[in-house]
Structure 1
Amino acid sequence: MSAVKSTLVRFGTDGIRGRAGELLTPNLAMELGYWAGRELAPSQSPGQPFILGQDSRASGDMLAMGLAAGLTAAGLEVWQVGLCPTPCVAYLVHHSEAVGGAMISASHNPPEDNGIKIFDAQGNKLSQELQRAIETHLNQGGAWETSHHWGHNLNRPELLHTYGQALRSSLGTDQPLAGMKVVLDLAYGAAVSLAPQIFQQLGATVICLHNQANGEKINVNCGSTHLDPLRQAVQEFEADLGFAFDGDADRVLAVDGLGRTIDGDHILYFWGQTLQQAQQLPGDLIVATVMSNLGFERAWEQRGGTLVRAAVGDQYVHAEMLRYGAMLGGEQSGHILCRHYGIGGDGLLTAIHLAALVKRAGCSLRHLKDVSFESYPQILRNVKVMDRERRLAWQDCQPLQTLIAQATADMGDQGRILVRASGTEPVIRVMVEAVSATLAEHWTSKLVTSVETYLAA
């Protein structure tokens, strides 16, 4: 058996992602399930478990059934967790006999998109080698080989509670958040039931926003990409702090009592300080990405620390953490990885630990931000470039490269530039950071115009 492929399938920085019903079809999900199963368990006994979760998107059930069909055809036993955060799948795979897992989610993307993220037996994102092997099978449309040792599809929603217990126990004390008032923006997504429950069990008073699973509204004017509702609620309810998750809850951003954004750089700085003081941060090393602010880097260096930069994507952060033996890393966007407690970015884990950190400090998050560091003005613009080949070949655009060189020379050590093709959306991202907002805006405008003229047209 083999489905006919009309579209070249490629893994991006976070699995396969695209428009549901176009790139993400039931046939593709079934083929992906089969070939992922064959690659992850090529010669092992039939009936080994594979863990499957999803966010609230309307297309999720369609893709889950397709994946399960392919996985069971490959002889695996599918454990369907249902609605759950992405880190839940990674945790359960890592702490069970599962040969792998998959999360059906397009993370922070709009409702019409979806995606499939696959994890290996350790709960890590798939290696480049495994991704290429699966891509080859998908694009060649090879025949399936079955031995009639069919797998089974089982509903295992109770596994979500296992993950929740692990989150609670990571803080080690009863009700460490007692007396705190916290606002949670759940983005109509994967954490709508679990996050309020965890915070309440840890002792916090919880106010929830967008806390019903709704695949038609997921990420729409809410969550970590739209912080205004959270800012307003934190100030209206005079809360200690607020957290906004994305659709699959693998990342989180916070706001303080004044409604100011606490991004991934500040979270890394606060958590890094705590681990440094406890002598639990080897080499005083933090791994961030090329997007992290220069203000953060220089402030951390003033504390005697070292900041290593990785490419954008939590899998690249994780790889550099393993390479350098780092215990803390993450992205400005709110993917935070702390190897003391887990192996991947986990928005819920990050949120409860940041809240506990504030409580132990005996002061407000507002105060912690005031005494941390001043971010350099940083402007990020996304330019839509629908042609994939042109988008990926932006480095070959000579006029753009000439302008980048000119801007780099002009700013010297007073700023920096990052242009890159997104691995999750059809855009080229242009970031300029400088000592003054005027300088950053000047070069951002010129670079965006160049991308629009030579690549987007």
Structure 2
Amino acid sequence: MKYFGTDGFRGEANKGLTVDHAFKIGRYVGWYYGARQERKARVVVGKDTRRSSYMFESALVAGLVASGADAYMLHVIPTPGVAYETVDGRFDCGIMISASHNPYTDNGIKLVNGEGYKMDEEVLELIEDYIDGKCDVPLATGDSIGATIDYMQGRNRYIAFLISSANFSLQGVKIGLDCANGSASSVAKPVFDALGADVRVINNSPDGFNINVDCGSTHIDRLRRHVVEQGLDVGFAYDGDADRCIAVDERGNVVDGDLILYVCGVYLNKHGRLTGGTVVPTVMSNYGLFKAFDEARLSYETTAVGDKHVYACMRANGYSLGGEQSGHIIFGDIECTGDGIMTSLRVMEVLRAERETLSQLCAPVKLYPQLLTNVRVTDRDAAMADEGVLASVKQAEEFLGDRGRVLVRASGTEPLVRVLAEAPTKELCEEASAFTLKALDSFKVE
């Protein structure tokens, strides 16, 4: 697709993604759902805390009401909150303004359909055609013009949903939260406060520019220090739109998405709540996770990188747990998207039920060293199809045997081939990578 990637339309604010783009997206969405159902469309809109989110919100809402839709404004809320309220409030679709973990200079527009899933590609293609001037839609007039509704009650309902999903008390538990100066800033603490936790929050003072700056799930060191210095039981860090969560155990060790999948997968399977006894990670999950799943007698089905691929597999097979190393975890029996705050609640459920620390629960997993090398190539498709490259991967696998693996994949957005090696030692990773890196020499950009 030209504008919409795997995670919406994203770019530098007013360069790659402009106010005009936002207005046109609102115009087409407002018209499309109204014409389809011969009534006013109802669309719910949320945003994160970056400075440009406010202007994109205004442009989107202007486009929506100009096409006859009623726009319900949630204001600052996590992305999963928009997905939840789209379904709970029976809206035609939901729109989230966010660039997730990107710097504040970027922004993005994500669309979800009435079922809370990522918007169908057929509809996104129609929107792209409208942006490019290939079709036109009428302006609403008279009483057909839409209205804007301040919809703070929707955010309150999302907070209530998170609280009600936890059937346990956190009284006496000391929890650190890193809200990344983003969407979690207005939601996470009230949830944990309501459950009785002793909450110590950092990075929850957004100013429009500090979202994701040296904080949150992509900069975990501040939370690690916070947990150790404050003597906390556990810590959770979210990204800018709070659909991801990375944890920190009581010792200050990082517990990434792979470890969260293990901890929750083992627990859910023990209690008969892991559908098919199967977890859905991506091919980029650590080899040590797969080994730990084998030892715990859990099945797993890997997908391509991207939460949309994870959820597609989960939905097609009825699986209840999947996610990515980055902390994007989906609990399919509860939600249809990754939700950082929900993930932290599910981890706390395991801690409370098992009466063990997070470090104890993670102990069976021995994560392997990883070596990721990005090779800039002249033609990534030709490189991926080259017999010499394919043969080199087989050589690397034979060299490692059951000690690790080599994974080669093309970037979806850049002329890069990514070579990932995993083995018990860094030296073995380097040796295994060398087979494929040598085979890629003829494709490298000089």
User: TM-score, normalization: structure 2?
Assistant: 0.91
Selected match of 1:435 from 424, 428, 441: 424
Give the structure 2 partner of residue 315 of structure 1. 308
Whole-angstrom CA distance in 2 between matches of 1:220 and 1:407 = 38
Cα deviation digits, residues 419-444 of structure 1 (max 9, x gap): 33155x89765432223221224555
Cα deviation digits, residues 174-225 of structure 1 (max 9, x gap): xx21111111111111111211111111111111111112321111111111
Letter in 2 for 1:208: V
Letter in 1 for 2:182: G
Whole-angstrom CA distance in 2 between matches of 1:285 and 1:349 = 20
Q: Provide closer, same or farther for how the CA distance between residues 441 and 59 of structure 1 changes in structure 2, counting only shifts above 3 A.
A: farther
Selected match of 1:111 from 104, 109, 113: 104
User: Which sits farther off after the overlay, 426-435 or 9-18?
Assistant: 426-435
Please list every run of 5 or more consecutive structure 1 residues that lacks an aligned counterpart in the other structure.
1-7
Q: Provide closer, same or farther for how the CA distance between residues 401 and 28 of structure 1 changes in structure 2, counting only shifts above 3 A.
A: farther
Deviation for aligned residue 1:321: 0.3
Aligned partner of residue 288 in structure 1, secondary structure = coil
Cα deviation digits, residues 85-124 of structure 1 (max 9, x gap): 0000000001122000111000011111110100000111
Letter in 1 for 2:216: G
Aligned partner of residue 223 in structure 1, secondary structure = coil
Corresponding position: 1:377 with 2:369: yes
Whether contact under 8 Å (1:378, 1:437) holds in the other structure is: yes
Give the structure 1 partner of residue 217 of structure 2. 224
Corresponding position: 1:137 with 2:130: yes
Q: Provide closer, same or farther for how the CA distance between residues 430 and 190 of structure 1 changes in structure 2, counting only shifts above 3 A.
A: farther
Whether contact under 8 Å (2:396, 2:432) holds in the other structure is: no
Cα deviation digits, residues 11-49 of structure 1 (max 9, x gap): 111011111110211100011112233344432243332
Give the structure 1 partner of residue 151 of structure 2. 156
Whole-angstrom CA distance in 1 between matches of 2:208 and 2:412 = 24
Give the structure 2 partner of residue 396 of structure 1. 382
Selected match of 1:299 from 285, 292, 298: 292
Whether contact under 8 Å (1:287, 1:320) holds in the other structure is: yes
Q: Provide closer, same or farther for how the CA distance between residues 190 and 279 of structure 1 changes in structure 2, counting only shifts above 3 A.
A: same
Give the structure 1 partner of residue 19 of structure 2. 26
Whether contact under 8 Å (1:40, 1:120) holds in the other structure is: no
Corresponding position: 1:120 with 2:122: no
User: Which sits farther off after the overlay, 99-108 or 304-313?
Assistant: 304-313
Letter in 1 for 2:166: L
Letter in 2 for 1:322: R
Deviation for aligned residue 1:280: 1.4
Q: Provide closer, same or farther for how the CA distance between residues 450 and 68 of structure 1 changes in structure 2, counting only shifts above 3 A.
A: farther
Whole-angstrom CA distance in 1 between matches of 2:438 and 2:203 = 36
Whole-angstrom CA distance in 2 between matches of 1:221 and 1:66 = 30
Selected match of 2:406 from 409, 416, 419: 416
Deviation for aligned residue 1:296: 1.2
Deviation for aligned residue 1:67: 0.9
Whole-angstrom CA distance in 2 between matches of 1:129 and 1:350 = 31
Letter in 2 for 1:419: R
Give the structure 1 partner of residue 163 of structure 2. 168
Whole-angstrom CA distance in 1 between matches of 2:164 and 2:423 = 42
Aligned partner of residue 43 in structure 1, secondary structure = helix
User: TM-score, normalization: structure 1?
Assistant: 0.89
Give the structure 1 partner of residue 73 of structure 2. 80
Give the structure 2 partner of residue 326 of structure 1. 319
User: Which sits farther off after the overlay, 399-408 or 125-134?
Assistant: 399-408
Letter in 1 for 2:145: W
Aligned partner of residue 167 in structure 2, secondary structure = coil
Whether contact under 8 Å (1:243, 1:255) holds in the other structure is: yes
Whole-angstrom CA distance in 1 between matches of 2:301 and 2:309 = 12
Q: Provide closer, same or farther for how the CA distance between residues 429 and 34 of structure 1 changes in structure 2, counting only shifts above 3 A.
A: farther
Letter in 2 for 1:154: I
Q: Provide closer, same or farther for how the CA distance between residues 71 and 427 of structure 1 changes in structure 2, counting only shifts above 3 A.
A: farther
Whether contact under 8 Å (1:186, 1:192) holds in the other structure is: yes
Q: Provide closer, same or farther for how the CA distance between residues 101 and 445 of structure 1 changes in structure 2, counting only shifts above 3 A.
A: farther
Letter in 1 for 2:211: I
Selected match of 2:353 from 360, 363, 381: 360
Percent identity among equivalent residues? 35
Whether contact under 8 Å (1:321, 1:328) holds in the other structure is: yes
Whole-angstrom CA distance in 1 between matches of 2:432 and 2:187 = 43
User: Which sits farther off after the overlay, 34-43 or 313-322?
Assistant: 34-43
Whole-angstrom CA distance in 2 between matches of 1:79 and 1:400 = 52
Letter in 2 for 1:377: P
Letter in 1 for 2:366: E
Aligned partner of residue 57 in structure 1, secondary structure = coil
Aligned partner of residue 240 in structure 2, secondary structure = coil
Aligned partner of residue 271 in structure 1, secondary structure = helix
Deviation for aligned residue 1:332: 1.0
Letter in 1 for 2:264: W
Whole-angstrom CA distance in 1 between matches of 2:391 and 2:177 = 43
Corresponding position: 1:102 with 2:95: yes
Whole-angstrom CA distance in 2 between matches of 1:130 and 1:220 = 34
Please list every run of 5 or more consecutive structure 2 residues that lacks an aligned counterpart in the other structure.
none
Q: Provide closer, same or farther for how the CA distance between residues 158 and 381 of structure 1 changes in structure 2, counting only shifts above 3 A.
A: farther
Whether contact under 8 Å (1:404, 1:417) holds in the other structure is: no
Whether contact under 8 Å (2:406, 2:419) holds in the other structure is: no
Q: Provide closer, same or farther for how the CA distance between residues 379 and 421 of structure 1 changes in structure 2, counting only shifts above 3 A.
A: same
Deviation for aligned residue 1:74: 2.3
Q: Note the aligned Cα RMSD (angstroms).
A: 2.5
Whether contact under 8 Å (2:281, 2:300) holds in the other structure is: yes
Whether contact under 8 Å (1:9, 1:139) holds in the other structure is: no
Whether contact under 8 Å (2:102, 2:212) holds in the other structure is: yes
Letter in 1 for 2:405: G
Aligned pairs, number: 440
Whole-angstrom CA distance in 2 between matches of 1:445 and 1:63 = 46
Q: Provide closer, same or farther for how the CA distance between residues 100 and 436 of structure 1 changes in structure 2, counting only shifts above 3 A.
A: same
User: Which sits farther off after the overlay, 268-277 or 83-92?
Assistant: 268-277
Aligned partner of residue 42 in structure 1, secondary structure = helix
Deviation for aligned residue 1:365: 0.7
Whole-angstrom CA distance in 1 between matches of 2:416 and 2:147 = 40
Q: Provide closer, same or farther for how the CA distance between residues 434 and 128 of structure 1 changes in structure 2, counting only shifts above 3 A.
A: farther
Give the structure 1 partner of residue 179 of structure 2. 186
Whether contact under 8 Å (1:87, 1:344) holds in the other structure is: yes
